[in-house]
Structure 1
């Protein structure tokens, strides 16, 4: 008797050791990193956030690390035509990353004031700015969302927006002396929480990513998260560290893999692109990703591109 394909698949999935593998969304082969532009150090002197606009192709967003005023920058894909956009509001404590995602009928930038090196902040904040075809010299944010962790303060430098409107944050799990990296925790703010205009939103703990375990053959610097982005379809993500890029081939909206589910080449991969000094910003592009580093105000920070070769 001829078996139906769906019935056969169900039988195989039920047998021990023969469960059907989920399709991998990982890139099988990456190009070497190449410099595609630079950022003017007179404006971007400590690059810490990077986003590529999908609503306005050919546009990049940037921001500086702690110490800057409440502002961001707009450029072309090479870092050229750099323009500062000042935002009304108090000076932030430590903006460490930015994300771009849905916001009502349009899209918004989410500037993450989440840096906390001593681990003492009772609250963090996300400044929400509507994405526009043209920005003025000064703009008014839509709102600022106050938030806190459910289990006490954490330092963080990495956020990303899922296409469903939820925001994900990855902690930077090292002590103040940067000696003891451990698993990074992942938290979520829902789309509904990001629409809040008052009160303090409590984030949900999604789980952990044990970078020292996933990249046990790498050095300490590969285990410290500094930037994050999620693909437009939500099926994959990239996490930048000081020494590597991690690609994850699963949808965060469906949860993180269990400990035994982290399989190199199947659910994640480690990309060893050219390491930049203090690399802290990354964004996915249709054919790969861009990343850059702090320049410390001395020389122009290079803007690097890595391309997926199997798509």
Structure 2
């Protein structure tokens, strides 16, 4: 059974064996502030560094997130479908650090962002890959040189088009590895959860996406739908998130036939709607969410996860 389909079992086990968890973790005792627990080869804990960091209203739907490799703690995010073609930089406290228009791009349905290598240095990759009806086969990837925090507009973005074989896939997760390879994970609300590779070198296209593997036959519940992914800057790890769970894979395992090294229940964080994830080589993870009703802002959460 994959981690994507085991969330309901984890909840049942947690409810039935609280005493055992106290003995195993040594840190979840009555009266303690709850921390997010991770389950893999052994029970581990991700420490919450910052929780419920409110993001400004102009990022009402933070659908994807990526760390800036040049500035400690700074991350980039963007709005969802129909928003301006803009990326926003924030510090770990949620304070704005930059606002940059992506020149030549259109935000039809941006769902994820990554920072990775490209000719001449580092680039920002934006996945215009959302497809709620699963009817559209073609998707678009925008790539532009990573802007400085003080820039107001990027250099002109390149657009690359690709298509799924057969029917389209509703897709929200994108990550870029250290060799510049681009991968997607479809959401899985109406299909199998699958890992896809975008053929490189990138071409204007449209090109045919290559299916790498099936991660799960289908989500076990709506909370298991995949909404974001991000590769660590040293290339060793990939974080994958659903609405309710964080999964950390060794990159070789994810691209091969392996399972997640451990997973973490995110429901105690009470995110309005969990969407984005990024991680650093030291196990720092940032999660972002869309805004909720009743005046709730989009928010970010910072975790420190021990890497096996």
**Shorter-chain TM-score range:** 0.7 to 0.9
Check the 8 A contact 1:211/1:223 in 2, yes or no: no
Q: Which residue of 2 aligns with 1:283?
A: 278
Q: Which residue of 1 aligns with 2:290?
A: 294
Structure 1 residues 84 and 155, CA gap change in structure 2 (3 angstroms): same
Q: Bigger shift: 204-213 or 30-39?
A: 30-39
Secondary structure of the 1:43 match is helix
d(CA) in 1 for partners of 2:98 and 2:180? 27
The CA RMSD over aligned residues, in Å, is: 2.6
Report how far residue 120 of structure 1 moved: 1.6
Q: Which residue of 1 aligns with 2:73?
A: 58
Scaled by the length of structure 1, what TM-score is found?
0.76
Structure 1 residues 296 and 310, CA gap change in structure 2 (3 angstroms): closer
1:203 corresponds to 2:209 = yes
Report how far residue 204 of structure 1 moved: 0.9
Check the 8 A contact 1:248/1:268 in 2, yes or no: yes
1:46 corresponds to 2:61 = yes
Report how far residue 310 of structure 1 moved: 6.2
Q: Which residue of 1 aligns with 2:197?
A: 188
Superposed, 1:1-311 pairs within 5 Å as: 29-36=44-51, 38-89=53-104, 91-175=106-190, 183-193=192-202, 196=203, 198-210=204-216, 220-251=221-252, 255-257=255-257, 262=259, 267-273=260-266, 274-285=269-280, 286-296=282-292, 298-309=295-306
Secondary structure of the 1:74 match is strand
Scaled by the length of structure 2, what TM-score is found?
0.77
Report how far residue 28 of structure 1 moved: 6.1
Report how far residue 211 of structure 1 moved: 7.2
Structure 1 residues 91 and 233, CA gap change in structure 2 (3 angstroms): closer
